[in-house]
A and B are shown apart, each in its own frame.
Chain A
Amino acid sequence: MEYIVLAVNAILVKNILLAQYLGNCPFMGVSKKTDTAAGMGMAVIFVMTFATFITWFVHYYFLVTFNIEYLQTIVFILVIAALVQLIEMFLKKSVPALYRSLGIFLPLITTNCAILGVAVLVITKDFSFLQSIMYAFFSGIGFALALVIFAGIRERFEISHIPAAFKDMSIALITAGIIAMAFYGFKGLDTSLKSILIK
């Protein structure tokens, strides 16, 4: 039950892109076509879950043990970067088909703030291990959802008449703002969901 609330929260209410404004770089960069957006979304789900899995362990078994939590950011960056590299190599050799569809997105994710953000968030929120993994997974889904919706809208720009001054990035940013406002409407959904579930 708790996980349903978590999922609603991560996907809709606190959408990583539209409510927390993390990972804006791929949001603008790879949202011109729906299929590349979907590919990027899959890669993010995959890496986000995996990275949180590792960083959770690193945090509780190393940083806490040695009492050096203040090194969290730098250690997480290092771990995530090394992890993505490793995954890339592994995929290239063992699952070439998946590498071909995700391959070009993996290096882009290495330094993505959404990944790091989720890894840090699950620590600050004091989530248990399973909660952390679920939260990361659902955040990734939220990311993919927002990205695909956005790409779908941007594809329609191709055939609409946009004033020259608003072309490309400006209209994209305006659109992003409007979608974010739409997602704002989900606010409170989690509390009401909780109250229904408790009853």
Chain B
Amino acid sequence: MLIATIFLMGLGLVASLILVVASKVFYVWEDPRIEEVSDVLLGANCGGCGYAGCAAAAEAVVQKKASPDVCVAGGFEIAKAVAEVMGMTVEEKEPEFSKPGCTYGFQDADLKYEYDGLYDCRAAVLLYNGSKICEIGCLGLATCVKACPFNALSMGKNNLPVVDNDKCTGCGICEEICPKGIITLSSATIRLMSDQKLSECTAPCQRHCPAEIDIPRYICEIRAGDYEGALRTIREKNPFPLICGWICPAPCEEECRRNLLDEPVAINGLKKFVADLERKNGEYKLPYLPPVSGKKISVIGGGIEGLTASYFLRRLGHDVTIIESTEKLGGILRYVISENRLPKEVLDWEIKGILSLGIKHRTGITAGRDISFKSMMEEGENLVLVTSGGWDSRQIMNNTMTSDSLIPKSNLLLNFLMSEESDRPSVKKKRVVIVGEGNSAVKAADICLDNVASKVCLIYPFSREEAIERNLDISIKKNLEIIFSSEISELSGIGNDLKQISIRDEYGDITEIGIDYLLIDSGRIPEMLFDLDKDSGIWRSVEVLKVLGKENSGGIFALKNIGRPTDLERVVVAVGIGRKLARGLHLHSTGEDIAPEEKVITDESQVANVFRIPNRQALINYKEKYDPSEIFTLEMSKDQAERCLSCGLICYKKGHQVCKLM
């Protein structure tokens, strides 16, 4: 007994001594915070962060290789806890959930063959890209469900995955494992930043909407009675559902698949209905708003395009100020569209709603005259977006607010040629620059030379070879210089006199030429942005940023490069453009390339579609399309929503299937 006790004690002592010595000898220093951070992390080792497990992620955080919000699955709570350990701060991000992108399971879809193999989408896809005819259809073999480390996915009755948003952490494992890329991470921010892609299931109406609203989804929400949800869906792409409800010509309805049966669904009427419902309730529902980033952005022009861009820029977390030269926001909708087509209270309601997101505005201020572009850039608002639309910046040259004054000492080529000899402005002893691409420009040059112009410079957009091909008379004349492959880049002057014109050649090099008189051949004088230096009275055109620089570099952005008109013929087009501008500016401000997304659906892209509906069953839901000018009642909206075929690329509701919210 004694021996046993002594032996055990002795053994324990020896073992502990050895371990103590060993722990000193084999000591490896480890940052204690690594352990603290890994204690805080979920420990699911899902790999959603891109590191091999939670421990590796913790190590990366401690080594400052990853930010505290590395854990995509943990969300803000975990990020806050990690930041606490590290003594850092994090900002709350909008949660992301996975979103299955297919609405018709294989029992409802058209199939190439019956699949009866390994129960896994990755195996099924090897056989002619899966059994569905639709190339982007969900194969329904639950690979994503099995892969989900948080049990947030389950297989629904229609053989499509169903996401439990309470459990979904947005880790992105399902997105990675889906061989067809159908289930993806999604959030309002992701959706408003992205354009429709070929890899997404889109309905014909949606593809035809210039604003790219997810029409089948919002109609589905209306059918389910979720009017707020429907409005939220619309506002992900269009902040003006009510205005569009009133005046949009509804190109979506032209493409509605229901046309193949009877009449289109009153898509626009439904939009107007949900938007009007909110107005009647009098409470403007704010979307998720991220905390304001440090980026200040000035948006010039308070028209639809500018308001849309401001709305989305604010939703992307920027501090936006709209600068409008007239007294009220609204642009063409306020000053051109008549009251009976669009009541002013409708316009005011939506503008007020947009401003309630926290967008500042300064009216009665003309950019370029009252604030110079230079000062806007210097004030820290180093990003300036120009959405002046159909308005004209030339008014800043003199202090009167007229837009009918042309660029001084300039004329349209056609007017110059057509006018009588006596009416022509005198070009004697003057330096004339002619911008044109036809023989009319050469003819004008000859006239100028006959009238003893001191020098004539012809700026030709194409190369010398092309000029010869187009039979342009390029014979050498005294005092005539032809500059090939070039365009105007800048124009400046004092008061009513021109001073200098800059020309950019095909290599991007700039040449400056003194100028007294300008003749230009385009249908309208190119739209340029002018900036006035009040002290010297010199005005000059401001170059819109074309080549984007590094992160945080400022710049002036506009839809198109100077020299092209930017007025947009329909309000919904302006909305679509406004959102794209906001996206581009946001990407630029975060230092990313603003190149357009890949595989975006354009007018030219070939998208699978249905051209004939053999199944007349859908006629059961026949209800006539109501007069779109009236505001729908609840019942009318239900009738119309019921008529929607909930189309996908080639799927649509046949008979009485219940539509599933996408």
Contact = CB atoms under 8 A, between A and B. Distances in A.
Interface of A: 62, 66-68, 70-71, 74-75, 78-79, 82, 85-86, 89-90, 92-94, 158-161
Contacts of B12: 78
B146 interface: yes
B15 interface: yes
B335 interface: no
Contact of A158 (B3, B25, B27, B146): B146
A161 B117 CA distance: 10
6 nearest CB pairs, A to B = A93-B26, A82-B15, A159-B120, A89-B26, A161-B119, A159-B118
Contact of A85 (B19, B28, B119): B19
Interface in B100-141: 118-120, 122-123
A93 B28 CA distance: 6
Contacts of B18: 82, 86
Contacts of A82: 15-16, 18-19
Contact of B4 (A68, A93, A159): A68
B22 A89 contact: yes
Given A159-B118, A160-B119, 12 more contacts: A70-B4, A75-B11, A78-B8, A78-B12, A82-B18, A82-B19, A86-B18, A86-B19, A89-B23, A93-B25, A159-B122, A161-B119
A159 B123 contact: yes
B288 interface: no
B21 to A, nearest CB: 10
A28 B8 CA distance: 34
B23 A78 contact: no
19 contacts: A66-B4, A66-B7, A68-B3, A68-B4, A68-B7, A74-B8, A75-B7, A75-B8, A79-B11, A82-B16, A82-B18, A85-B22, A86-B18, A89-B19, A89-B26, A92-B28, A93-B25, A93-B26, A160-B118
A67 B23 CA distance: 33
B651 to A, nearest CB: 25
A146 B364 CA distance: 82
Nearest to A159: B120
Interface of B: 3-4, 7-8, 11-12, 15-16, 18-19, 22-23, 25-28, 118-120, 122-123, 146
Contacts, number: 55
Contacts of A93: 25-28
B10 to A, nearest CB: 9
Contacts of A90: 22, 26
B26 A78 contact: no
A158 B18 CA distance: 46
A29 B8 CA distance: 33
B5 to A, nearest CB: 10
Nearest to A158: B146
Nearest to B12: A78
A62 B12 CA distance: 14
A94 to B, nearest CB: 7
A109 to B, nearest CB: 17
A109 B23 CA distance: 19
Contacts of B27: 93
A71 B119 CA distance: 54
Given A92-B28, A93-B27, A160-B119, A79 B15 contact: yes
Nearest to B120: A159
Nearest to A89: B26
Contacts of B118: 159-160
A92 B3 contact: no
Nearest to B24: A89
Given A86-B18, A93-B26, A78 B11 contact: yes
Given A68-B7, A159-B123, A161-B119, A94 B26 contact: yes
B13 to A, nearest CB: 11
Contacts of A159: 118-120, 122-123
A66 B118 CA distance: 63
B22 A86 contact: yes
Contacts of B119: 159-161
A107 B145 CA distance: 32
A66 B7 CA distance: 9
B116 to A, nearest CB: 11
A75 B120 CA distance: 51
A159 B23 CA distance: 46
Contacts of A75: 7-8, 11
Contacts of A85: 19, 22
Nearest to A67: B3
Nearest to A162: B119
A165 to B, nearest CB: 16
A71 B23 contact: no
A43 to B, nearest CB: 18
A85 B15 CA distance: 10
A78 B7 contact: no
A71 B15 contact: no
A21 B22 CA distance: 34
A85 B22 CA distance: 9
Most central of B4, B118, B119, B120 by chain A CB within 10 Å: B4
A94 B22 CA distance: 12
Nearest to B117: A159
B180 to A, nearest CB: 16
